[in-house]
Amino acid sequence: MDEMPAILHMQDIEKNFPGVKALRGVTFTIESGEVHALLGENGAGKSTLMKILAGAQGKDAGQIRIDGRDVDIRGPLHARQLGIAIIYQELSILPHLSVAENIFLGRLPRMASMPWIVDWKLCCARARELLKQVGLDIDPLIPASRLKVADQQMVEIAKAVSENAKIVIMDEPTTSLTNREVETLFKTVRRLQERGVSIIYVSHRLAEVKEICDRATVLRDGMKIGTVNVAETTSKDWVKMMVGRDLDQLFPKMPVERGKEALRVEGVSSQKLKNVSFSAYEGEILGIAGLIGSGRSTLARTIFGAEARVAGSVNIGGKEAAIASPLEAISQGIALVPEDRKLQGLVLPMTVRENITLAKLGGISRVGQLNLRRESKVAAEYVQALQISTPHIDQKTINLSGGNQQKVVLAKWLYSDAMILIIDEPTRGIDVGARAEIYGLLQQFVEKGKSVIMISSDLPELIGMSDRIIVMHEGRVTAELAPSQFNEELIMTYASGMSH
């Protein structure tokens, strides 16, 4: 891209937390009208650097210049006044307020003659114009709770535009979006770019970085490794910068001899599922593809007994299994790693040790008494085997990175002796180095003759790790694909409900 003046220059930024040096002299520059990726593994310092810029945290040392002026950002409000807006991964929309109220929160336009009264007509007109600028045609007076996630995100962007933001930080903006919604987001990003707005794009999805970003800065262990032009480098280059090593084999899938049928689902129907049938085998990773709302997660929860079915059967090892609750599923050797590991897969205030043994307390207890020494031994073994990065086994799980939290969930089910592992979005929000480790653990699982059912929106992940893929659309199975048929276009065709 043409050389543009630097709108932001962060110089030698330092930040310390108790026992942790989060940022070590990081320098970061972004030009006017640039889309700039910020890359790094979880724990690299990306979030800390962006929180300092957004005023959510203070820096310990260093300088920040905006438009060539030295600034000391005193808080989130001051950051917004300086033209900095941040759109967090967990959106900050207030669901019970209207779209217009969310856009102008704390700045609702008032009537000139009666400044204590909100000018709703002007408010709606301005909101409608802002929504139009981000490609959204909705009534500004409807409650924000009625919008889907992608539209709520657009409302946050409209709010940033209304505040005349010069720098917009987007933190993992596509995590909950469909492919079509991602395209809409990218159109909006390009519109903002044309107006001279600078975008800082924080993402683990390297294909998106390649498509939408001009430059990328990579952090590792709180230090800046380098800034590169996206067009002149490859995702392989960025990965090496992020993890400090080559990841030649991201998908470590090796063929495993297929064993007996581990699970057979026949004619399962519910409110959202329509006559679903498939089999999964020992030594196999069965991938499940589909768009958001296709019924993939519902199917997983139904097999696990967390959602009721109105028809059909589940057979395990050739015998029909009466599963009406997760407890019954666990007793039958089924494990579920849910999409939202923080809410459903872990008890975050509990320690790593307690979470690992949670699904099999009988293994560490005797006559109703927990053997804490035995529990500690088991937890330490799994922390070592899965290379879970934690200061000690009594660390609260909430303090771990996303990748390490996912490893704790996997450790829990490995210890439970589960034979069938259903894993929903195994690497969502996880950095590329931890991804390779998660894939390696899934490979180890099937090498022991167990069965993995992997639900994922990441098509390269599905193609790279699956032995077979079934595709779902609106609660139905629309295709079963062998490895020779694996390609993204064909999967998307069936996922969209179109026959090939």
Q: What are phi and psi of 259, to 5 degrees?
A: -95, -150
Please give the pLDDT value at position 417.
Answer: 80
- Contact criterion met (CB below 8 Å) for 429 and 175: yes
How many Å apart are CA 203 and CA 206, to the nearest integer? Answer: 7
The three-state secondary structure class of 451 is strand
Please give the pLDDT value at position 388.
Answer: 84
Strand partners, 268: 276
This prediction's pTM? 0.63
Number of Cβ within 10 Å of residue 1's Cβ equals: 13
Please give the pLDDT value at position 180.
Answer: 80
Q: For each of the domains in the chain, give its residue range(s) and CATH number, in order of start.
A: 6-93+147-243 (3.40.50.300), 261-495 (3.40.50.300)
Please give the pLDDT value at position 4.
Answer: 57
Query: Average pLDDT by consecutive 10-residue portion of the chain (500 residues)?
Result: 74 86 94 94 84 94 95 93 87 88 86 84 90 87 88 87 90 80 88 93 88 94 93 87 66 83 95 94 95 88 92 92 90 86 77 88 80 88 84 88 81 85 84 79 89 90 93 94 89 77
Strand partners, 286: 453, 468
Q: What are phi and psi of 367, to 5 degrees?
A: 40, 50
The three-state secondary structure class of 210 is helix
Please give the pLDDT value at position 1.
Answer: 47
Q: What is the DSSP string of 284-340?
A: -EEEEEE-TTSSHHHHHHHHTTSS--SEEEEEETTEE----SHHHHHHTTEEEE-S-
Q: How would you write 117-164 as a 3-class SS string?
A: CECHHHHHHHHHHHHHHCCCCCCCCCEHHHCCHHHHHHHHHHHHHHCC
Please give the pLDDT value at position 247.
Answer: 52
